[in-house]
């Protein structure tokens, strides 16, 4: 059964979509992977760059019938096979490659469609993924940066979370507020995760502020996470910082 890994944050501009793309790309070298853009901003969909590889008429029709918002209309979705267009950071084809499928965002209409559902709307993504988990080793989701029905869907469907946080001045306060919101949502739904990963991003080791913030993430932020009522019970760890030039 595929493990669902979601990249989440309440703040945009932290490299969330880029991290989801890189993670899926690397996992797909040896595994069957499904990548989902669950953000109405559709940044990940732009990164995948479907128009460069598929006919425009085909894409128009595909978005009408198979964007991720269709789960709220209780319709089936056929993921798009993008295995053949997978590239590394330098634009070269990745080989060996196993399998990478993609479900694009429906854009700004996603939130409206989700809120229009009358019952069980927070669990629609979890139900959908439950039907297709067996087809993949990993499912990577790029979540929207706001606490809405869409966001709750991602939280409740995930097995593990990756939380990007900028190594910039004043980033910690907002990050702590986000953790508190996550903890409250988990308390309401009694959901849990296998692991939570904290990922420092946009790190410039030449800057004192970046180094100070990274040190604060390693100590105060991780301590705050482990002290929370629900999140604190889940195994958590900090990943190596991602350099600014990579995001």
* Distances from the Cα of 32 to the Cα of 5, 27, 149, 216, 224, angstroms: 14, 8, 28, 36, 35
Are 151 and 177 part of one and the same domain? no
Cis status, amide bond into 96, omega within 30 of 0: yes
Q: What is the pLDDT at residue 129?
A: 94
Are 55 and 137 part of one and the same domain? yes
Q: What is the pLDDT at residue 224?
A: 94
Are 34 and 145 part of one and the same domain? yes
* Burial class for 133, CB neighbours closer than 10 Å (0-12, 13-18, 19+): middle
Residue 36 to residue 39: CA distance in whole angstroms: 9
Q: What is the pLDDT at residue 36?
A: 94
Q: How many Cα atoms within 13 Å fall on the side-chain side of residue 92?
A: 4
Domain count, the chain: 2
Are 181 and 85 part of one and the same domain? no
* Distances from the Cα of 120 to the Cα of 35, 77, 125, 179, 189, angstroms: 24, 19, 10, 24, 12
pLDDT (tens digit, 0 to 9) for every residue of the chain, 247 residues total?
789 999 998 766 667 888 898 899 889 889 999 999 998 888 888 888 887 778 888 887 887 777 787 777 777 888 988 887 766 556 666 555 678 999 988 776 665 555 655 567 788 899 999 999 999 999 999 998 777 788 888 999 999 999 999 998 888 888 899 899 889 888 887 677 899 999 999 899 999 999 999 999 999 999 999 999 999 999 999 999 988 876 5
Are 96 and 180 part of one and the same domain? no
Q: What is the pLDDT at residue 94?
A: 56
Q: Which residues contact 69 (CB under 8 A, 6 or more apart)?
A: 106, 109, 110, 113, 114
SS3 199: strand
Are 99 and 170 part of one and the same domain? no
Last residue of a domain, one of 101, 129, 158: 158
Are 118 and 234 part of one and the same domain? no
With contact defined as beta carbons under 8 Å apart, do 200 and 167 qualify?
yes
Q: What is the pLDDT at residue 13?
A: 67
Domain that holds residue 230: 165-247
CATH classification of the domain holding 146: 3.40.50.300
Are 144 and 94 part of one and the same domain? yes
Are 27 and 97 part of one and the same domain? yes
Are 214 and 130 part of one and the same domain? no
């Amino acid at each position: 059964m595929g493990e669902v890994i979601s990249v989440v944050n309440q703040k945009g501009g932290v490299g969330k979509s880029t991290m989801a793309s890189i993670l899926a790309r690397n996992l797909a070298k040896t595994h069957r992977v499904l990548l989902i853009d669950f953000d109405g901003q559709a940044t990940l969909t732009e990164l995948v760059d479907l128009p460069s590889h598929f006919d425009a008429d085909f894409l128009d029709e595909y978005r009408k019938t198979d964007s991720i918002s269709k789960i709220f209309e209780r319709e089936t979705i056929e993921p798009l096979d993008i295995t053949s267009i997978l590239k590394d950071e330098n634009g070269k084809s990745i080989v060996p490659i196993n399998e990478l499928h993609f479900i694009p965002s429906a854009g700004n209409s996603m939130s409206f469609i989700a809120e229009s559902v009358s019952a069980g709307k927070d669990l629609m993504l979890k139900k959908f993924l439950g039907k297709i988990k067996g087809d993949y080793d990993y499912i990577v989701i790029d979540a929207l940066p706001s606490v809405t029905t869409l966001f709750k869907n991602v939280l409740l469907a995930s097995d593990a979370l990756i939380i990007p946080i900028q190594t910039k001045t004043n980033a910690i306060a907002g990050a702590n507020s986000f953790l508190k919101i996550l903890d409250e949502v988990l308390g309401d739904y009694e959901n849990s995760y296998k692991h939570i990963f904290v990922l420092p991003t946009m790190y410039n080791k030449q800057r004192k502020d970046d180094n100070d913030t990274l040190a604060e993430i390693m100590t105060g932020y991780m301590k705050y996470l482990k002290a929370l009522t629900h999140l604190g019970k889940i195994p958590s760890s900090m990943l190596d910082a991602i350099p600014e030039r990579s995001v």
